[in-house]
Amino acid sequence: MKKMITHITLVFIGLTFVVGAQAEVSLAGVRIGAQDVAATGEFYKNTFDLEEVLYFTTKRGKKAMYLGFKGNENKSVRDMGIAVIIFGRDSDSAAEDIPHLIFEVKDLDAVYAKALKNGAIKVDGPTDNVNVGLRLVFFKDTANNVVELMQKI
């Protein structure tokens, strides 16, 4: 019995370390590319109500912009929470479609309409994936980056 209690205690200690380790990891942001950083920044500000936190020139001479959710615009990059970071690139023609942004929204149709109004290009959907309980739509932003909207159904 004492051996069994020792094993159970060790399991709980192990789980405590695993849960503690997971709690120390969080998403800081996502980075995308754009030939015209300012115009792409406007797309994200106008479509998702993001706020510009920092617009600067990198050491390589490319423009870059940090965007945050409302309430974070007066904070430093270090303290702003989750960020959408746009880095300048030479061309938008070769944007990849596997890495992409995913936004969870409450009204997919309204946000999708807003994205299309702001220059988004339809890729796929909207579709209801009842197997996982999500409504999804994919589109390209004004710099050819793929964006996914996700709504719980």
Question: Tens of pLDDT along 64-113?
Answer: 999 998 886 677 777 778 889 999 998 888 666 667 888 999 999 999 99
> Which amino acid, one-letter code, is at 109?
D
Selected residue with higher pLDDT from 49 and 22: 49
**Cα dihedral value 27, 33, 38, 43, nearest 10:** -70
Selected residue with higher pLDDT from 64 and 24: 64
State the residue for tokens 């030939």. Answer: 35
Selected residue with higher pLDDT from 22 and 90: 90
The DSSP element (H or E) to which 63 belongs, if any, is strand 63-68
Q: Which pairs count as long-range contacts for 107-110, CB under 8 Å and 24+ apart, including other chains?
A: 107/151, 108/135, 108/136, 108/137, 108/149, 108/150, 108/151
Task: Note the Cα 140 to chain centre separation in Å.
Answer: 14
What is the CATH code of the structural domain delimited by 27-90+99-152? 3.10.180.10
Q: Cα(first)–Cα(last) distance of the chain, in Å?
A: 48
